[in-house]
Structure 1
Amino acid sequence: MYNKMWHQTQEALGALLDKEPQKMVEPQRNQAFIFQTLATFYIKYVQIFRNLENVYDQIVHPQKRILIRKVLDGVMGRILELKNEMVELELTEFHYFDDILQDLKLAPQQLDIPIPKYFLKEKLEVIKGREKILAQILADSGIDTSGMKYPVKSIPLDQAVKLIQIAERARQGRLRALFMKQIYLQEYRAKQSKTLGKKVTDAWAAALCIQKVWRRFHQCKKTEKLREEEMIFLGMVCCQNPEVSATVIQAEKVDRLRNEVQTKHEEDYREALVTIKNDLKLIEGLDIKENLQDQIRHWFIECR
């Protein structure tokens, strides 16, 4: 799949490279036409960059990855050049590609430029080294955050007893206030029932009251659910219990396995570069040396 994606991206890049000089040689009409041309090339290069980044991250063949990396670096450089040209043309960092995206039938999300995954993978050893150096500096200076012990201030026994008594009285006061509130509400309901009389016992009025309360409760729940869905849709709140399908889990597992195979093939390739060179030197080294000596003697005979 990734080989096919690479070939398709390479064909699109070749077609774009053939078309770009022709567009630039044509007489420029106005500023809007120039920006339209630059923006179209910019969007197409971004799509090529996204595909190449995925291919470079997942393909396991080391020689192919070397070639794709060179093309990927070139595409990133061309994107920066086009971005600089658009900034100089419009004197602004923000551009609008709505009409071009609509013509190319692309979604706005496809215009986002992802951070290449190999940026972090290649700098992983450097980051770990920096963390070790920082930990060593903290240890040498005597600032060990992992083994720090905070001093505990002791207080006299009578003061501790007094604090416990204050907390207990406060707890009892809160319970008494809650109990008195319940008694007051019961007395208030009893007074209301006496004043209303027949109105409270009326079945129609009771049903209407229950309907009002239930509709209010139901609408509050519905509004809260709609608000939560809107926040999740806008990306302001992450989903509490996201349902991840088995296909996505399997795809992530395959990606991890492919990265492990990729690392192993890279190590084998580096070792093969050394071993093949040594084997070539042992097997064909004498023949190569004799051929070079014959060429040097032939040059001396002809020229000197």
Structure 2
Amino acid sequence: MIKFDCCEYTYFEDLALDQNKTLDNLRIEIPSCFAEDRFKSIEQRNHIIRTILSRLDESKHVLSMKSSFDSFLTSKNDQIRIIPLAAVIHILQAHERARQGRVHAYFMRQMKNELKTKEMKSISDNNLEDSCVIIQTIWRQQYAEKLFNRKKIEKAELLNMV
């Protein structure tokens, strides 16, 4: 049907018009294998939800018993409060966002420090290269002057001027 209609949703208006019925009068049977599979998955989901709710009720009961028992032992200021689930989720999300923010800030700080160290290394390398070039030029200049003076003395000796 999808190949004929060229879409994912199949419209049954044409079928209803051919049968001279309205869409409310038509009942499309779902094959039993699909219904059983869907029923099993729904039952599993309902079972999981029931177990979670029963655990939640037990924990509420235990907390209420504990708080009533602790009320005998502690003052009213130290009693355990039962917080609604929505508030707990809100608090957990806020703390998780804060934790992720701290992690993000740590990594950003680390990246910034790495960039600074790379810059300092490149600057020191550039300074090292510049200083090497300066030293080499001065040394070459001194060596050239020394050679020039030697040749000058040799020429003077050759001409018997010394």
The TM-score normalised by the length of structure 1 is 0.20
The TM-score normalised by the length of structure 2 is 0.33
Larger radius of gyration: 2
User: Relative contact order, CA 8 A, sep 6+: which one is greater?
Assistant: 1
